[in-house]
Structure 1
Amino acid sequence: MEILKSELGQAALDSGKMIGTAMIISLIVGGALGLVLYLTSNKLFFKNNLANSFAGFVINIIRSLPFIILLVLLLPITKTIVGSDIGPEAATVPITIAAIAFFARLSEGAFNEVDSGVIEAAISSGASLRLILFDVLIVEAFPSLIRAITVNLVSLIGYSAMAGIVGGGGIGDLAIRYGYYRYETGVMIVTVLILLVLVQAIQITGDALATKLSRK
């Protein structure tokens, strides 16, 4: 267990950096893309089949690739951006790109769940586009967005663990280097338990928050 004492803290910090950075960027960029997909597919706003199809096509390409393949394919781009193709900073690039595409679809689905009658009523009342988007659409979609954020965060934990295969650092890297290659079963068990507890805590919290907001 000396390995855990000496390296678990740094591994957890590396995982936190990867997940945190990717989460923030994916919420902003992926959420915006999801909104664009919704607006360009809805006749009440800016229906544009060409723009919607193009954005959807790019997102679907990213989502269709298994993460480990995407990670390898993006190595040249990663090296250009961060100056290295190993380590947590390098792993953050493909993790973020995968998360953006994933959350874009999740947020699009959340917006599509909003009752069109509510949107039509807001438009009929003469509300501005900004008011409709931020005070009606996003507010109505918020419980579903919370669930989408929860799913996205859980996926990011999985992505960060897989990044350890190419030396991305973090808890996944610790499990692979010691638990798999060096047959340190104790390290593997502890890292798996940490990931299980973390995912369960996130899922329970996200579900509870979404349910609470849905009742208001």
Structure 2
Amino acid sequence: MLSGLFKFKKFWSKSKKSKKSKSQAKTEAVASAPTRPTTANEITSGRNGAGANSSTSATTNIASSTDNYAPTSTAPVEPRPSFKDIKIELTSEDALAVKESWKETVGLSPENATTSAAGSPANLFYAQFYENLFAVRPDLEYMFPDIHRQSAALSGLFNAALAMLENINALDEIIERMGRRHAYVMGVEPEHFEFLGVIFIQTLRDRLGDRFTPQIEITWVKIYAYLASKMIAAGGEE
């Protein structure tokens, strides 16, 4: 479900690649260009020696062999959406439902604020989040050297986003700053955002159970995709 909402991650990846010299780019283009099969006549003419006849024969062979190849069509390149292009639209009912689900998940509601022997609801949520993540992608553990600090940062982002859901554009400066930090300091790639989103939604489902309805899930996907897409765009803009 998340993959369709990250429409421009490929552009962000391109913008992070180092710029190459014209000669280097030309060399790579030539090296990667597809080659056509050598015809039997060309092999024969090469064995028999060079000269005017071999040149004429090679030209004839090239012309005849290219008849079997259709021209390659190039797909049009989509313009990269800017940071300001990314929007989110939610109904008031969806906004209220997702806020209540978050309060229940991290213990912000009075009836769910009790800390058990295992820890607070928020600590339990993030413990399960990272457990789910490292169970399938242990190679990403290096990106989270301080789980407690990063959990607090993630929680703060969602708390702010949900509190200002009706005027979420007010968070643009904060999200943009976070996006640049994730891209240029932490080295986070678009596929990391997408994968973390899948784990985040899965952990919400694990914690809420039947209360995590399909409509609430769709709303959470929209919110996560909006925040992540903004950060990806910020990291890709020069």
TM-score scaled by structure 2? 0.29
Whichever of the two has the greater Rg, that structure is: 2
Higher relative contact order (CA 8 A, sep 6+): 2
Between structures 1 and 2, the one with greater helix share:
1
